[in-house]
Structure 1
Amino acid sequence: MITLIVVAVVAVLLVLAAISLYNGLVRKRGAVDNAWAQVDVQLKRRHDLIPNLVETVKGYASHERQALEAVVAARSQAVGAQTPREQAAAENALSGALKSLFALAEAYPDLKASRNFSELQEELSDTENRIAYSRQYYNDAVLTYNNAIQTVPANIVAGMTGFAAREYFQAPGDERGSVQVRF
């Protein structure tokens, strides 16, 4: 009789532990989803600013079509990206196109002095900082979640209930190297 009670108590404790682990994994997965949503909000903000920036530059440097079209194409690609890996690659291409656009602005003093352009440039810079923070927050949430689903005993519950590792938001390999500055 005592053995049966002990076995029942142990079984109940194991079920409660499994439920607790499962609920913890659900919370961590929710934190990753929330972090990704925050990255997405900041990227949308960036994508919304770009058409205004392009229109402003167009007014001063309309014959610089190649640079303007590169920004528009990169923005379209970034808006259409689905996974963190695709999003990272597209956003890095967009950053490069924007750098070219801002370098172009240096050649046009009237554009550089334009209040509208300055405000858009400042807003975009602020947004870039927000994106960097959001990416870091997302990657931290992914790290916590991935560690949770890979450690014992949560990995047992995670494996039985279909929790899968999430991918980090990181720059493609060729963009991690040192920056080349040429004069």
Structure 2
Amino acid sequence: MYKLLFVLMCSLFFYYITKDLRVFAGVFIFLTALMFWGAQIETVNRRLAISQARDDIEGALRKRRTLLEKAYESIKDSAAFGESELSLIDRLLSGENNSEGEDTVFKEYYLLQKMVKDILAEKMEGSAEDRAETALQPEWFDMALKDVENELSTACIFYNDSAKEYNSAISTFPTSVMAKINGFGLINYFDADNGSC
């Protein structure tokens, strides 16, 4: 709203100097067009930032999946898995869910990884004494997992910050008008506790 007021004040200033209504109209139209053009650029740039943040989350999820695959391969012969646990692990390894596409798929994939991570962490602790030394000991797994989780957490924070800035921007004039014209709506935040995005 302040931008529109600024445009009006500038136009009135030029009208006051020239006393010509055509100058007022020309300046008003030019500055209004400039204001909307700037709002369009701002909207697109903020959406690009959200897209980059989402890519960062997906990259961290890919790293976590690789780590979970290694953990499973390391203990599958020495640890006893229940049928439901094997079903979840099989879904993860088969790629039935992936991190790309619809938000619902993204959420399901995040939660699936979280469940498999909890299962494998428990099994690695339980099978540490029963198996010979391997490259993937529980301590190594915990450290590697902590690094990936930190990266994922950082990516989620960046995503939420970008989403917050974007949601604030498209709630104000003139960006709200450009968002409606382009069909852009509010972006949901990423909740690391339940994988909602």
TM, length-normalised to structure 2 = 0.75
- How many angstroms apart in 2 are the aligned matches of 1:65 and 1:15? 64
Distance 1:69 1:79, change over 3 A: same
**By how many angstroms is 1:21 displaced?**
1.0
Of the three residues 142, 146, 166, the one matched with 2:167 is 146
Of the three residues 101, 126, 137, the one matched with 1:117 is 137
C-alpha contact (below 8 Å) 2:46/2:162 kept by paired residues: yes
Alignment of 1:40 with 2:58, yes or no, is yes
C-alpha contact (below 8 Å) 1:56/1:116 kept by paired residues: yes
Alignment of 1:64 with 2:85, yes or no, is no
- How many angstroms apart in 1 are the aligned matches of 2:55 and 2:118? 26
Q: Which has a greater percent of helix?
A: 1
**By how many angstroms is 1:165 displaced?**
2.4
Moved more, 130-139 or 159-168: 159-168
**By how many angstroms is 1:112 displaced?**
9.3
Q: How many residues align?
A: 173
Q: State the structure with more CA Rg.
A: 2
Match of 1:135 in 2: 156
Determine what percentage of the aligned residue pairs are the same residue.
21
Instruction: Determine helix, strand or coil for the equivalent of 1:60.
Output: coil
**By how many angstroms is 1:22 displaced?**
0.9
Moved more, 145-154 or 79-88: 79-88
C-alpha contact (below 8 Å) 1:106/1:112 kept by paired residues: no
**Cα RMSD for the two superposed structures:** 2.6
Of the three residues 36, 44, 48, the one matched with 1:18 is 36
Alignment of 1:84 with 2:103, yes or no, is yes
Match of 1:155 in 2: 176
Match of 2:5 in 1: none
Match of 1:100 in 2: 119
- The one-letter code of the counterpart of 1:64 is F
Unaligned runs of 5+ in 1: 177-183
- How many angstroms apart in 1 are the aligned matches of 2:99 and 2:48? 23
C-alpha contact (below 8 Å) 2:65/2:113 kept by paired residues: no
Unaligned runs of 5+ in 2: 1-18
